[in-house]
Chains A and B, each alone.
Chain A
Amino acid sequence: MQTNTAFTDSILSLSHACYSPQRFPLSYLDKKNDCLEILFADDAYNGERIDGRVTIYRSIETRELVGVLIKGLSIWVSRILQHFPGVSIDLQAGKFKFGLFFQLEQFVSTDPHLQLVYKQLYAEAERFSFQLDSNEIFSERTTKDLNSECATN
């Protein structure tokens, strides 16, 4: 087992000699904890929970949106599909533009602040043409399952 000094040393040794400005967007899909993090810039940020599942990251310098975290990703997506079942056909194709989900959240939101935040998230995801593979998101619960759930609901 590592001591904390060994942990620090091993972590800091991973620092890149040079960080390319072209490295964004960076995303991390944590299947075990069902989370997706997307970063659009490297600014130091504060998290801002906009609902129980979505936290946006705002630059502490510019207040610009620099990232987003979705916890309970598969539930969040299946909830959107309940409102927009026709979207599931896009998921069956494998890679899909993830920004679509932000746009759909904008469409169903009645809160003007949330509408604006989701519009900004959509714009950022589109700016980077950010895509995900639906098979990655739904490794255990397939898109077919989601279709069935949508049909049931």
Chain B
Amino acid sequence: MSIVLKSLETSKLCINSTLINRSHHFLNGLSPGREKWEFAITMGKVTHTSNISKGALNTLADCVQSVIADSNARVFQGIKRDGIEEGLCYLGLPPTRYNAHGDKIGIANQDEFFVFVNHDREIYHWLWETVSASDLENRFLRRVR
């Protein structure tokens, strides 16, 4: 069953001005409607990532950036848990994947890269997963791109 595309409710998806005064990195990407958008990542998350491995840093610097700026990435809104959580999930296929040492490794069929964005347009999580269409339908409220 294919997921129906619906219009995005963007009223809460803007960078909170208080973020500017906090400790964040900023990077450019595309909105679900493919307009230029700026995204934020906390220094804390970046520091944590830097402590994991060189590959984890490469993944942040390369894969995260690639997917949020990819006009062909799928975008979902609303994460289903006990209720619905606001936010977006970008789902795409970066050109590369990295091992812990930062070396490029192959990407398995059906593996895709998820980037989670909260209602302040803050990127707070990312990872590779094996994707199935039925799973996506169960996980997200709607597909918006």
A residues adjacent to B (C-beta < 8 A): 1-4, 7-8, 10-12, 14-16, 19, 23, 26, 28, 30, 32-33, 35, 37, 39, 42-49, 52-53, 55, 57, 60, 69, 71-72, 75
* 14 pairs, A vs B, C-beta closer than 8 Å: A7-B27, A10-B25, A12-B58, A14-B47, A19-B53, A30-B124, A32-B124, A42-B55, A42-B100, A44-B100, A44-B105, A46-B129, A47-B129, A49-B135
> Which residues of B, 48-99, contact A by the 8 Å Cβ criterion?
48, 50-58, 60-62, 65, 69, 79-82, 85, 97-99
B105 nearest CB neighbor, chain A only:
A44
Contact-residue size bin, chain B (C-beta under 8 Å from the other chain): 35 or more
| Chain A contact residues, majority secondary structure | mixed
Residues of chain A within 8 A of B124, CB atoms compared: 30, 32-33, 35
Residues of chain A within 8 A of B38, CB atoms compared: 1
**B27 and A53 within 8 A (CB):** no
Q: Which of B61, B97, B108, B128 is A47 in contact with, Cβ under 8 Å?
A: B128
B residues adjacent to A (C-beta < 8 A): 25-28, 38, 42, 44-48, 50-58, 60-62, 65, 69, 79-82, 85, 97-100, 102, 105, 108, 111, 114, 118, 122, 124-125, 127-130, 135, 139
**B61 and A7 within 8 A (CB):** yes
Residues of chain B within 8 A of A47, CB atoms compared: 114, 127-129
Residues of chain B within 8 A of A46, CB atoms compared: 111, 127-130
**B130 and A8 within 8 A (CB):** no
Residues of chain A within 8 A of B69, CB atoms compared: 4
Residues of chain B within 8 A of A26, CB atoms compared: 48, 51-52
Q: Which of B28, B52, B60, B118 is A4 in contact with, Cβ under 8 Å?
A: B28
Residues of chain B within 8 A of A33, CB atoms compared: 118, 122, 124-125
Q: In the docked arrangement, what's the CA distance between A43 and B99, Å?
A: 7
With A7-B27, A19-B54, A69-B125 as known contacts, state yes or no: A52 contacts B65, CB within 8 Å: no
Q: In the docked arrangement, what's the CA distance between A71 and B116, Å?
A: 12
**B129 and A44 within 8 A (CB):** no
A12 nearest CB neighbor, chain B only:
B61
Q: In the docked arrangement, what's the CA distance between A68 and B24, Å?
A: 25
**A8 and B61 within 8 A (CB):** yes
**B26 and A2 within 8 A (CB):** yes
A43 nearest CB neighbor, chain B only:
B100
Q: In the docked arrangement, what's the CA distance between A35 and B128, Å?
A: 17
**B127 and A55 within 8 A (CB):** yes
**A53 and B98 within 8 A (CB):** no
Q: In the docked arrangement, what's the CA distance between A124 and B99, Å?
A: 22
